[in-house]
Amino acid sequence: MSNFHDLTTGSVTKQLIRFAIPLFFANLLQSLYNIADMLVVGRIVGSTGVAAISNASSLVFIVNAICMGITMGGTVLIAQYRGAKDELRQKKTIGTIYAMTAVVAILITCAGIFFYKQILTWMNVPKEAYQDACDYMLVIFIGTIFVFGYNATCSILRGFGDSRSPLYFVMIAAGINVLLDYLLVGVFSFGTVGAAYATIVSQAISFGIAILYLRRQNFIFEFQLSSFRLEKAILSKLVQVSLPTAIQMTVVNISYLLIAVMINKYGVVIAAAAGIGLKINTFAGMPCWAIGQAVTTMVGQNMGAKLLKRTKKIVQIGFFASILVSLIAILFIQVFAEPLIRLFDPENQAVLKAGVVYLRICCCWNSLFYATMYNFDSFAVGVGFANLGMINALLDALVIRLPLCWLLGTLLEFGVRGIYWAQALSPIIPACIGMLYFFSRKWQQRKLI
């Protein structure tokens, strides 16, 4: 297929940029699912609706984290088999990815439908936002299968070196999502639940288009029922990468959920402001995520081809690129903090003031450490040592961030600012550990396939 690229030859810098740019725009548009929900709901429903989606988003992020963690294993395994020119195992990997993600999606849907109310109650969601948050999450859990299917397809394409096709698919989905947000929330007054329907319907359409596209191309996988099988040997290798990565992403998002619980105690204004600030901070991290995803795929293909020197160069260039784009993002957000907050809640001055405080602390120099951590974690996943990312996530989220939130926010009585500072300080040690692993050269002896 024309969009598939061999990432083991050519200029590393050009390959990285060419692969990362579509990933960045895909991540940006993907974020519009939730940001568009918040913008439309914020302007029509108000701060209560924003608080509902902000809290529901903590659960959505956990579901997405499990999904992305599982499918990331597929990207790495396919990338390494592509680097090794092993087409048979590429086919078996694709079938196993789809089968595995379907099983996990069904399990999450069942668990979510039974427990979403209890979880939102435990989160201390402000009572005026509770019912909206419940309605939103019920629809999201019902549509989980489409989210998993779409992400599985995109992970497969990335493993083959194709970052453009996922961009086209998400462009379609984002456009449909924005249109449905306007219709369901604005025109038909469905409220917060209308935003959830918009998200799931747009994701389902995008998934369907992606499958139709692949079936009409000269794709190596045949979309027949017999092809969707859990191959034991392949599944074992997938789990080796997918499980630690899923744990890594889930732990990080659970920590944010727990932080949301702490922040909710300060009331709906602070909850809404922190939710908006987190969205903006997420936007700031997108360039680094794109570079990290590119590093993972490029490292995977080059490790499969046993090109160790080129692999090292990929990681080095990825690191410097991540630092550069992080500096640009920090400058932009610090200069335009107030206008960015007003995009989500143009009327409430209390939300504006609280949101700016969040950005001043949580989107500053600390972003450079997050960029460093993510680059080297992405490298470790690409070589097949996803345990490093998991360990760093446990350190960042559970060992450092949450205890610091309690220490600074509660024990030392710095309040919500203490919680923000805990988040800012947490990535320093994990970033250093990632760098030490890279310079230790132990990764050169890693074998996944």
> pLDDT digits over 35-70, tens only?
777 778 888 877 788 888 878 887 887 888 888 888
Q: How many domains does the chain have?
A: 1
| Long-range contacts from 445-448, C-beta under 8 angstroms, 24+ separation | 446/303, 446/383, 446/384, 446/385, 447/384, 448/76, 448/77, 448/80, 448/237, 448/240, 448/241, 448/303, 448/383, 448/384
| Full residue range of the structural domain in which residue 281 is found | 12-445
Whether 155 has a pLDDT exceeding 60, the answer reads yes
Per-residue pLDDT at 141: 95
Half-sphere exposure of 51 (CA within 13 A, CB side): 25
Instruction: Please list, residue by residue across 128-145, b when 16 or more beta carbons sit within 10 angstroms of its beta carbon and e when fewer do.
Output: ebbbbbbbbbbbbbebbb
**Mean pLDDT, rounded, for 173-181:** 89
**Mean pLDDT, rounded, for 323-351:** 90
Per-residue pLDDT at 1: 56
Kindly report which listed range (107-116, 184-193, 375-384, 413-422) carries the lowest average pLDDT score.
Answer: 184-193
First-to-last C-alpha distance (Å) of the chain: 24
Per-residue pLDDT at 52: 86
Report if residue 6 sits inside a domain. no
**What residue has token string 């092809």?**
227
**Mean pLDDT, rounded, for 324-335:** 94
Average pLDDT, the chain: 90
pLDDT digits (tens, 9 = 90+) for 248-275: 888 887 888 788 888 888 888 888 888 8
| Measured CA distances, 230 to 93, 184, 291 (Å) | 9, 39, 31
pLDDT digits (tens, 9 = 90+) for 5-24: 789 999 999 999 999 999 99
Per-residue pLDDT at 378: 95
pLDDT band at 2 (very low <50, low <70, confident <90, very high): low
Report if residue 5 sits inside a domain. no
Report if residue 370 sits inside a domain. yes
Whether 33 has a pLDDT exceeding 70, the answer reads no
Please, where are the H alpha helices in 123-143?
Answer: 127-142
Instruction: Please list, residue by residue across 112-121, b when 16 or more beta carbons sit within 10 angstroms of its beta carbon and e when fewer do.
Output: beeebeebbe
Report if residue 178 sits inside a domain. yes
- What pTM was computed for the model? 0.86
Task: Output the CA torsion 151→154→155→160 (10° steps).
Answer: 170
Report if residue 395 sits inside a domain. yes
Per-residue pLDDT at 34: 65
| Measured CA distances, 376 to 317, 322, 431 (Å) | 11, 11, 8
Q: Provide, rounded to the nearest whole percent, the portion of the chain with pLDDT above 70.
A: 98
| CA-wise closest residue to 283 among 213, 207, 343 | 343
Helix 12-44 crosses helix 164-181 at what angle (to 10 degrees)? 10
- In whole angstroms, give the CA distance from residue 137 to residue 150: 19
* Cα 35 to chain centroid, rounded: 14
**Mean pLDDT, rounded, for 200-217:** 91
Instruction: Please give the DSSP secondary-structure letter assigned to residue 84.
Output: T
**What residue has token string 């979510």?**
112
Kindly report which listed range (170-179, 197-206, 259-268) carries the lowest average pLDDT score.
Answer: 259-268
Per-residue pLDDT at 218: 79
By three-state DSSP, how is residue 446 classified?
coil
Report if residue 177 sits inside a domain. yes
CB 183 within 8 A of CB 177: no
Report if residue 2 sits inside a domain. no
Per-residue pLDDT at 6: 86
Please, where are the H alpha helices in 384-411?
Answer: 387-393, 402-404
Per-residue pLDDT at 103: 94
- In whole angstroms, give the CA distance from residue 294 to residue 163: 9
Whether 111 has a pLDDT exceeding 70, the answer reads yes
Q: Provide, rounded to the nearest whole percent, the portion of the chain with pLDDT above 90.
A: 57
**What residue has token string 């992403």?**
249
Report if residue 263 sits inside a domain. yes
pLDDT digits (tens, 9 = 90+) for 231-254: 888 999 999 999 999 898 888 878
**Mean pLDDT, rounded, for 128-137:** 91
